[in-house]
Amino acid sequence: MYLVNVERHFDAAHYLRGYQGKCENLHGHRYRVVARLKAFSNQNAGMAYDFTILKKQLAGILERFDHRCLNEVPPFDEINPSAENIARTIYFELKDQLGKLPEGMHVDAITVWESPESWVEYQPD
């Protein structure tokens, strides 16, 4: 079994609605995002999945969040741009973009860091 990981980042502002504390105020993060695929085969030239393709797909998703206030970017104009919601949103967008993957392969998890000490990993139930 192989876990294939790529990392990208974006810089954005956000604030949390309905929350009392520091995060209700507008502030920024460098969001670090890791996409992880799980595969049971490396039949493609010895690779389970091409890093280049995976990085490009992830970067394409993150592009619309970069240097923006997330609260103005769908779906975060309606749901809170918490690290949890960001990770889940990226998970399903990446899953859609990658389309049909080779047998036994799937998007395993998306991890989003808001700071070097705080991160969330999303995996579907």
Binding site for Zn ion (CB under 5 A): 23
Q: For the chain, first and last CA: distance in Å?
A: 20
Question: Is the Cβ of residue 57 or residue 114 nearer to Zn ion in the bound state?
Answer: 114
Question: Is the Cβ of residue 37 or residue 83 nearer to Zn ion in the bound state?
Answer: 83
Question: Is the Cβ of residue 101 or residue 120 nearer to Zn ion in the bound state?
Answer: 120
Instruction: Work out the angle at residue 89's Cα, subtended by the Cα atoms of residues 87 and 90, and round it to the nearest 5 degrees.
Output: 65
| Minimal distance, residue 47 CB to Zn ion, in Å | 36
| Minimal distance, residue 68 CB to Zn ion, in Å | 14
| Minimal distance, residue 118 CB to Zn ion, in Å | 9
Residue 38: phi, psi to the nearest 5?
Answer: -110, 130
Could you give the count of Cα atoms lying within 13 Å of 9 in the half-sphere of its Cβ?
A: 9
